[in-house]
């Protein structure tokens, strides 16, 4: 992942912070120190306001993290794999490896997030009430946490996919109709509608104030983000649907050029890379896959060493190699290609090479599938 920092591990889940998060952290702290806390007590010094601002925004992000963690823990408990949690400009996101395959699972995973925010909000409210007489600065932090967590829960409950509320809506329609495609179509349409309303609200806010306001820009940005996310989720589903019946062996190429591990890099470049248009070759010894070698590996080695270095020294060896079997579903293969950001994957059966599957072959198939269906 680019531009992210690893924050630590909680319950075995890696927590990352995206660089864009810094922007929102500063914006929240600035709004709190400049507006919220001075409005609570005009006599507080700037130092106190800023200290409270930093503490409150850290606690706010801890609340966002708790919200995402609750999604992740329920997902794990439901048998899903959680890759990580990333905090970024629009809050947080828990990367769950696969979309839930049952409506009830999705319902549970989606609803626990807003529920967690409500619980934090209520407890902060109680703390606000209890600390009012003892420490007004502490009370004002709790008041903020109470309000922001309730607001977070409300926003997430808006029924537009992929917000939690949209996921809950999808799970309900899905459970009722037993059709995940229709459910996703309706929920992501609602997501786009919410996005459109947010963008309109942003534009109206800016016109009414006749100035570029932070809130106005914020509504537009969140709306835009939501629109893209809704669109992407639906397209992702269509893609998965198109590949549901397709096996790796239906799409793989079997007439492939392989190279022996003992071949020199110089020969690889002259006889294979320059002659064929392929950038990567499977390294095979007596029918057994040994690894994969591509142009990028060659480029790392100084040119004068090309004639004397065998391919086996620079190839990505079989232990590190992602592979698929011919009977596997094309969705699984596409998942591996995307997760590792690679262009081709060897198809291997009992350690013997059967072919190679390229990302382009899958994409071409999807395109054809879509065109045929339109007609
Ligand atoms: Zn959530």
Mean pLDDT of successive 10-residue stretches along the chain, which has 375 residues = 78 86 85 84 85 91 91 89 79 71 90 95 93 86 92 89 89 91 89 91 80 72 86 78 80 79 86 75 82 82 87 80 82 77 80 81 78 55
CA distance 286 to 268: 18
Q: At what angle do helices 359-374 and 214-243 cross, to 10 degrees?
A: 90
Please enumerate in sequence order all residues whose Cβ is within 8 A of that of 340, keeping only pairs 6 or more positions apart, or say none.
Answer: 322
pLDDT of residue 97: 65
* Residue 101 burial (10 A CB sphere; 0-12, 13-18, 19+): exposed
pLDDT of residue 109: 92
242 CA to centre of ligand 1 in angstroms: 28
CA distance 360 to 337: 11
Task: Provide the token pair at 129.
Answer: 């009430």
Distances (CA, A) of 233 to 69, 70, 363: 21, 22, 17
Please enumerate in sequence order all residues whose Cβ is within 8 A of that of 339, keeping only pairs 6 or more positions apart, or say none.
Answer: none
CA dihedral (269, 274, 275, 280) in degrees, to 10, reads 70
pLDDT of residue 373: 56
31 CA to centre of ligand 1 in angstroms: 24
118 CA to centre of ligand 1 in angstroms: 12
Distances (CA, A) of 356 to 176, 248, 252, 325, 353: 41, 9, 5, 10, 8
Q: Which of 191, 193, 155, 186 is nearest to 171 (CA)?
A: 186
CA distance 318 to 346: 10
156 CA to centre of ligand 1 in angstroms: 6
Q: Give SS3 for 23.
A: helix
Distances (CA, A) of 342 to 91, 98, 150, 280, 323: 29, 19, 42, 11, 11
70 CA to centre of ligand 1 in angstroms: 9
282 CA to centre of ligand 1 in angstroms: 43
**Cβ 100 vs Cβ 110: under 8 Å:** no
101 CA to centre of ligand 1 in angstroms: 18
In 3-state terms, the chain is what percent helix, strand and coil (to 5)? 60, 15, 25
66 CA to centre of ligand 1 in angstroms: 10
115 CA to centre of ligand 1 in angstroms: 9
134 CA to centre of ligand 1 in angstroms: 34
40 CA to centre of ligand 1 in angstroms: 30
46 CA to centre of ligand 1 in angstroms: 34
**Cβ 278 vs Cβ 257: under 8 Å:** yes
Residue 342 phi, psi (nearest 5): -115, 160
pLDDT of residue 276: 73
353 CA to centre of ligand 1 in angstroms: 43
């Amino acid at each position: 992942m680019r531009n992210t920092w690893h924050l630590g591990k909680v319950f075995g889940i890696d927590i990352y912070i995206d660089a864009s998060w810094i922007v929102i952290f500063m914006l929240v702290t600035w709004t709190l120190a400049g507006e919220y806390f001075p409005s609570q007590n005009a006599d507080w010094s700037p130092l106190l306001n800023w200290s409270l601002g930093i503490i409150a925004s850290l606690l706010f992000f801890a609340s966002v993290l708790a919200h995402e963690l609750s999604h992740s823990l329920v997902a794990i408990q439901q048998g899903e794999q959680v890759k990580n949690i990333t905090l970024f400009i629009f809050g947080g996101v828990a990367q769950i490896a696969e979309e839930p395959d049952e409506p009830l699972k999705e319902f549970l995973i989606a609803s626990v997030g807003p529920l967690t925010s409500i619980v934090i909000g209520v407890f902060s409210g109680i703390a606000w009430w209890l600390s009012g007489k003892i420490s007004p600065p502490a009370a004002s932090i709790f008041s903020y946490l109470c309000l922001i967590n309730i607001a977070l829960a409300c926003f997430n409950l808006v029924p537009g996919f992929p917000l939690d509320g949209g996921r809950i809506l999808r799970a309900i329609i899905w459970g009722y109709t037993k059709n995940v495609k229709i459910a996703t179509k309706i929920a992501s349409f609602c997501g786009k509608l919410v996005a459109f309303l947010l963008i309109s609200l942003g534009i109206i806010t800016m016109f009414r104030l006749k100035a570029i306001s932070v809130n106005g820009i914020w509504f537009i940005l969140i709306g835009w983000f939501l629109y893209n996310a809704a669109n992407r989720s639906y397209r992702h589903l269509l893609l998965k649907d198109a590949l549901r019946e397709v096996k790796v062996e239906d799409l793989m190429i079997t007439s492939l050029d392989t190279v022996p591990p003992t071949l020199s890099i110089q020969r690889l470049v002259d006889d294979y890379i320059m002659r064929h248009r392929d950038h990567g070759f499977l390294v095979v010894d007596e029918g057994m896959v040994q690894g994969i070698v591509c142009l990028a590996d060659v480029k790392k080695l100084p040119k004068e060493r090309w004639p004397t270095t065998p391919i086996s020294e620079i190839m990505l060896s079989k232990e590190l190699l992602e592979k698929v079997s011919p009977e596997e579903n094309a969705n699984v293969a596409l998942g591996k290609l995307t997760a590792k950001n690679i262009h081709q994957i060897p198809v291997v059966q009992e350690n013997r090479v059967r072919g190679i599957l390229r990302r382009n072959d899958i994409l071409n198939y999807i395109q054809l599938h879509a065109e045929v269906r339109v007609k």
